[in-house]
Structure 1
Amino acid sequence: MTAVSTRLVRLLNMVPYFQANPKITYTEAAADLGVSVKQLRDDLNQLWMCGLPGYGPGDLIDFEFSGDTIEVTFTAGIDHPLRLTSPEATGVLVALRALLDVPGMVDPEAARSAIAKIESATGKAGHEDEGAAVDERAPIESEASASVRTAVRTDRALAIEYYSASHDALSSRVVDPIRIVLVADHSYLEAWCRSAEGVRLFRLDRIVDARVLDEPSVPPPPAVQAGPDTSLFDPDTADPSLPTATLLVDRSASWMFDYYPLRVLREFPDGSCEAAMTYASDEWMARFVLGFGSAVRVREPQQLAELVRRSAAAALDAYRVGTESSNE
């Protein structure tokens, strides 16, 4: 949906852009509009089919192509750049501020600049809602996130140090970036992992280090054309080879549904619920459950419940030994 709306806004602004820049070349126009020459040609072919009711000769937007230059010859009334209404501007401001808190999705400086310009144009800055002003204390983008964005933007390969929470391990990989995607309030780098020989999603806040390499990003074309695969985050379509745990979650731990891929199975009158969660290893899942104390209990599978029980008993024994030693 985001890609479609982004293209729509670009298409609406392209006609007045070409009207203001007659005889501009494909290369120059593509650079100004932030797209490839191929995407620009696709956009022009789309615009050719748009226009006024009747949709016949003289009704549709038209261009003249001379050599490598482009000139609009009929605008169909789209003579001015798109203007935001007040509600639309408010929506854009809210979205930009939200994106500032999501690492890697946007350039923070560019986002702050856009916020300031929109507030200035709409007269929002300095009014009663002081919270609407740009927060100069907003989190600074990490070097790793900045490197990821640079690699995606410039089509360069990337060397990363990545922490896998499911395996509790740090790994080094060389990847070919494809795009940055937003899944469940977290930003992920979608890339072709050369060591795994497949497309992987890397959560940006778990990329410990990233270095842009002096070589092009060359993911296989089918991987790029397929679009992002977020099935891992959907319990209904997750890898069937991975185990799923059934958990009893106390009301006090209900906040975990905002941060972990859980699916509610049943709700109980006391506010607790039964939930399902897919995981990669029993050891990681046991540590995950133990971190919530008595607020989360394992119902199935039994081997996981037993591992949690043994781990908790071992921790208590170690605590008792440590307490007795300190009292001697």
Structure 2
Amino acid sequence: MSNVSTRLVRLLNMVPYFQANPRITRAEAAAALGVTEKQLHVDLEQLWLCGLPGYGPGDLIDFDFEGDTVEVTFTAGMDHPLRLTSPEATGVLVALRALLDVPGMLDPEAARSAIAKIESAAGEVAGSVAAADPEPVSGHASSVRAAVRDRRALEIDYYSASRDTLSTRVVDPIRIVLVADRTYLEAWCRTAEDVRLFRLDRIVDARLLDEPAAPPEPAVQAETDTSLFDADPSLPSATLLIAPSEGWMFDYYPLRVVRELADGTCEATMTYASDEWMARFVLGFGSTVTVLDPKSLADRVRDSAAKALAAYEPSGG
């Protein structure tokens, strides 16, 4: 057991121990708990800051120190067995089930054992977990996990809620991650030729391919980029050059500054749902916002601007 886990167990046991042994001396308590008197003092200082929501007088664990003795005057419920309410049991079960989707996050057998025990103790509560779970994982999650585990390419049918479209694409799985309480497959998308995140509950179908996954090595080594996420993390992003006069945009739109130039102009990235929407968005700022990437979006903005200008030309040329 790690040092953190050992101390946590000791702290959880200290309150009922001192309640069962009122006015015990620090030396006796330290010897019984297997720590030094200095460590005991640190533990007591820590417990003094723990307690119930509100975290004020009457909420926190309290002790009375008389001479060299210690006595618990308020336990904050630490001397009673843990009894989860229905919402609390549901929350713990949902969290444990979500963590099972993340390889290496925890011992799967330990998590399954904890889930079984909570379900058994919760009784009827367990039956309501499926309805209360905010993230029903698709039935194809097992295929996705197998693709990540075995490093195999995957063909998925993916529903994009922001576009209300269903697309089929071949991806090279990298890892499964948790982002904002949602489970995603991080993969190299061969269609977009870039890393994308796909919500597991929006993968309508998943088919393992008879070929190894081959994501670019830089994509595998890079950390998961969650800074650009807005609604659907599988959305594309654009790199924009924003004039100093439009600095207010950063307070209202999901922009991330990449670098600031000497003249105050900023290079920033922004996610968007469709090229059509993004083109209209950029055109509204005139020459103060320029699309640097992707080229297809820049071309679309340029063509739309040319057509708009042509409409104002005199019919006679």
Q: Give the TM interval when normalised to the shorter protein.
A: 0.3 to 0.5
Decide which structure has the larger Cα Rg and report it. Answer: 2
What's the TM-score once normalised by structure 2's chain length? Answer: 0.41
